[in-house]
Structure formats: C-alpha cells, structure tokens
C-alpha cells in the first residue's frame, strides 16, 4: 500500500476563519493553523490581545498577498468595560494608574452618543505603533513617554447590550432595541451607578477599543479599562463561520468576570493541541471562489483562454482580455463607485483557477471600462489555485 501523497502548498492556499480563545496569543493560534495545514506560509490580517477572543482571518499560501486588503476592512466587537479604574495597558493585566467614581447609566448613554461618528483617537501607549523605529509598547515598559499622533477613526455604532450596576443588578438589551427601550431603561435606573457594561462597537480600520473604553470613562468623569473583548466580524467574514467557534466561552459580563482567574493561569503561547480543532481548520479552509473574492472586496472576472499565457507572463493588460463581470459591482456591494476611484478584480481562468488580481482605475460603473489596468499580482502558473469552497 503506497503512502498517502503529501498535499502541496497550492492546495493549502486560501482563507481560514479561526476563533481565537481568550488566554491564547494570536501567534499561537497561527501556529495551530500552520500545524493543521502543514505549512509555514500564513499571514494574519489583524491580531487580538491575549485576553481577547474572537475572529482571526488568516490567509494561507498564495492568498497571503491579500492580507493587507483584509486588514483594512471594518470590524465589529463586543467589549466588556470595567468602570472606576484605569490601567496602564487599558486591559486586565495592567497596573491601576487612576481611580474615579462610577458613572451613572445616563452618563454612559451620553458617552456612547458622543463617540459615535468620525473623530481623532489617541492610541494606547501599550500598542504596536512604531515611534522612531521602536514599538510604543516597548517604550512604555521602559517608562519612556512617547508622543503618539492622533489618528482618524470612525465608529459607526455604539450599542449598549448589558450593564451590571453597583447594586449588583444586571440588565440586558438586544442589539436591535430602539430608542424607546433606551428611554425606558434610563427612566428605570438612569441615576444608578454602572460597574460593568457590555457594548457593541462597529468601527473602521485602526480603531482601538481599549482607547474607546478609556475615553468613554473620561467622558463620564470616571475611569475605565477593558475587561473582555470579542471580535465578531471582519468585513463580511463572521465569527460564527470560524473553526473553533463552538469552543468559545459565552461572552457576557458574568462569564467574562468568571473566566478572569482562569485566564491568569492560562499558557498564552501554547498552540491548541486539539486534533479535532486542527481537522476543522483543514475542513474550513476556503479556496478562492467568486464568492470569496467578493468577501475580499474583489470583483470576480474571467480571462479569455487565448489570453491566459499573456496574463501569466505579465504582458500589458487590455479590457478585451477579460469577460465582463457576471454581476454589476454596484449591485453586489450596494453602493456606487466614484469616478476616479479604483476597483480590484480577482482573475479566474475558464477552468475556475484563480490566477491573480488586476487593478482598474478611473471608472464609476463597476466594469473594466476603457480605463488603465494594472497587475495586482499574478499567481505563478504551477501554483494556479482551483476555485473551490470550504467543505
């Protein structure tokens, strides 16, 4: 009986949605994926702190070139904020640097209104931002103050999901609750002091939820830091579709507080040894398809057979080389492209092999038009990726 054939890297090119558990680092999660796929070629699209949990979108093989594109997507989080104390890291492991009275529920609602929209945010001192070539977090550990520039961010939604009051009572709301439900809650306990709040945030790339927690506390004339964080969406990718989703603990104020001591003893840098989890990773590896291309912000298009060699050899691009996209981009994405903008296309052969990306500039119709076409990147022909969904 012959030995099973070892899979080649081409078959491991795709996107894996992975549910990171609290207490694990993002890099130990990457190691779990590497081990499951028996490959070292992976690229993350945004890490999570070890205390946090939720969705990691990981590109593998030839699709690692898409990592920077996915990093720029909007994200959705649920955050448990602890009031009354601010830590230097703005999360549970930090040292307490400031204490202040608890905010009222009415003040908290006002803060959520104030931090919905576009504004300039001050990133945490403990962050990966580089200041003159050195990480801000490294400078902070040395006690060296760093002048971190403010950055523009957008918070599309701040929605209170649950509160625990100073008197021990816990109230929950639904994400779709309307203004009347909020008014009823304020009338019922608006003057009560808030110990913890679980909040839904929909934000742009580069928004620090730790900074939002800090700034909400300051707005309420209190102090605050994150107690727990769960990332539920990255662009069109959802946590519920991720490998390991069933292993995540419930995310509520009570469960976050209950799990805190467990996290203190967790080995954050160890990979998950669970063989079933590794199997789930292999089963949920998404090969490049037209549907996946759309989730990555790419318009799927086919290159005509007579031009395949030209494409693989990097010859000048012309719109005549491609079939018109099957669907109008405006209809797919629900918003028009502006004239002078740029659209990226995922290029497939007639045999549904993904062979690279193309950029088209200066149009507003969603097709390739009469505009300037440039290569994004070309997948080497021997690595051509057959279009197939996750099993």
Q: Is the dihedral of CA 315, 347, 69, 203 positive or negative?
A: positive
Residue range 1-15: mean pLDDT, rounded: 55
Q: What is the pLDDT of residue 248?
A: 94
When pLDDT is averaged across residues 139-146 and rounded to a whole number, the result is 69
> Which of the pair, 180 or 63, is modelled with greater confidence?
63
Place of tokens 């990147």: 377
CB 212 within 8 A of CB 34: no
65-69, 269-273, 381-385: which has the minimum mean pLDDT? 269-273
Is pLDDT above 70 for 328?
no
C-alpha–C-alpha distance, residues 296 and 298, integer Å: 6
**Listed residue (351, 366, 386) closest to 294, CA to CA:** 366
% of the chain at pLDDT higher than 70: 81
Query: Per the residue annotation, which of 49, 107, 215, 272 is the catalytic one?
Result: 49
- From the options 3.30.2350.10, 3.30.70.260, 3.20.190.10, 3.40.50.11540, give the CATH code of 75-234: 3.30.2350.10
> Are both 75-234 and 290-386 of the same fold?
no
Q: Give me the chain's average pLDDT, please.
A: 84
Q: pLDDT band for 294, please (50, 70, 90 cuts).
A: very high
241 is catalytic: no
Is 383:62 a contact under the CB 8 Å cutoff?
Answer: yes
Weakest-pLDDT range from 79-93, 165-179, 350-364, 376-390 = 376-390
Min mean pLDDT across 32-41, 80-89, 269-278 is at 269-278
The per-residue pLDDT for 362 is: 59
Say yes or no to pLDDT of 194 above 70. Answer: yes
Binned at pLDDT 50, 70 and 90, residue 43 comes out as confident
The more confident residue out of 185 and 66 is 66
Provide the pLDDT for residue 325.
67
Ranked by mean pLDDT, the top range of 23-32, 236-245, 337-346, 380-389 is 236-245
Task: Please report the pLDDT score of residue 11 as a whole number.
Answer: 58
Q: Over 90: is that where the pLDDT of 370 sits?
A: no
For the stretch 304-321, pLDDT in tens is: 999 999 999 999 998 889
Check residue 380 and give its pLDDT. 87
Higher pLDDT, 44 or 352: 352
pTM of the prediction?
Answer: 0.85
pLDDT of 53-71, one tens digit each? 999 999 999 899 999 889 8
Could you give the CA distance from residue 249 to residue 40 in angstroms, rounded to a whole number? 29
| Stretch 140-148: mean pLDDT | 71
Q: Is 359 exposed, middle or buried (0-12, 13-18, 19+ CB in 10 A)?
A: middle
Structure tokens at 335: 């918003």
Segment 133-157 mean pLDDT: 79
85 phi and psi angles, rounded to 5 deg: -140, 140
Residue 336 clears pLDDT 90, i.e. is over it: no
290-386: CATH, from 1.10.540, 3.40.1720, 2.30.130, 1.10.8:
2.30.130
pLDDT given at position 367 = 53
Buried b (16+ CB within 10 A) or exposed e, 177-215: eeeeebeebbeebeebbbbbbbbbbbbeebbbbbbbbbb
Task: Kindly report, residue by residue over 148-167, the tens digit of the pLDDT.
Answer: 889 999 999 999 999 999 99
Question: What is residue 339's predicted lDDT score, i.e. its pLDDT?
Answer: 45
| Structural domain boundaries in the chain | 75-234, 290-386
CA separation for the pair 56, 209 (Å, rounded): 16
Is the pLDDT assigned to residue 124 strictly greater than 50? yes
- Report the 10 Å Cβ neighbour count for 378: 18
Bridge partners, residue 79, by sequence? 199, 229
Helix/strand/coil percent split, the chain, to 5: 30, 30, 40
3-state DSSP assignment of residue 338: coil
């Amino acid at each position: 009986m012959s030995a099973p054939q070892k899979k080649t890297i081409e078959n491991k090119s795709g996107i894996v949605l992975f549910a990171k558990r609290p207490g694990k680092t993002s890099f130990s999660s990457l190691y779990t994926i590497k081990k499951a796929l028996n490959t070292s070629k992976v690229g993350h699209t945004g890490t999570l702190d070890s205390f946090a949990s939720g969705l990691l979108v990981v590109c593998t093989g030839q699709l690692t070139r898409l990592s920077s594109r996915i990093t720029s997507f909007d994200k959705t989080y649920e955050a448990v904020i602890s009031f009354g104390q601010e830590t230097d890291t703005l999360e549970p492991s930090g040292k307490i640097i400031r204490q202040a009275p608890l905010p009222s529920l009415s003040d908290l609602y006002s803060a959520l209104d104030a931090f919905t929209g576009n504004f300039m945010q001050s990133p945490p001192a403990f962050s990966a931002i580089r200041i003159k070539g050195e990480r801000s977090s490294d400078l902070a550990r040395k006690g060296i103050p760093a002048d971190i520039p403010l950055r523009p961010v957008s918070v599309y939604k701040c929605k209170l999901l649950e509160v625990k009051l100073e008197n021990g009572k816990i109230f929950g709301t639904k994400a779709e609750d309307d203004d009347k439900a909020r008014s009823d809650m304020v009338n019922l306990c608006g003057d009560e002091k808030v110990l913890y709040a679980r909040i839904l945030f929909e934000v742009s790339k580069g928004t620090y939820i730790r900074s939002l927690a800090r700034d909400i506390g300051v707005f309420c004339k209190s102090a605050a830091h994150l107690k727990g964080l769960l990332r539920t969406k990255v662009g069109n990718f959802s946590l519920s579709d991720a490998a390991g989703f069933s292993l995540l603990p419930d995310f509520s104020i009570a469960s976050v507080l209950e799990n805190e001591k467990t996290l203190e003893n967790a080995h954050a840098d160890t990979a998950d040894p669970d063989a079933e989890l590794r199997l789930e990773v292999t089963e949920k590896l998404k090969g490049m398809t037209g549907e996946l291309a759309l989730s990555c912000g790419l318009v799927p298009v086919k290159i005509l057979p007579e031009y395949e060699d030209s494409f693989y050899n990097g010859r000048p691009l012309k719109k005549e080389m491609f079939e018109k996209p099957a669907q109008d981009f405006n209809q797919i994405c629900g918003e028009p492209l502006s004239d002078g903008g740029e659209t990226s296309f995922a290029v497939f052969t007639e045999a549904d092999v993904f062979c690279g990306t193309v950029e088209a500039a200066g149009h507003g119709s969603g097709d390739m038009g009469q505009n300037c076409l440039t290569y994004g990147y070309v997948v080497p022909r021997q690595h051509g990726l057959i279009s197939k969904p996750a099993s």
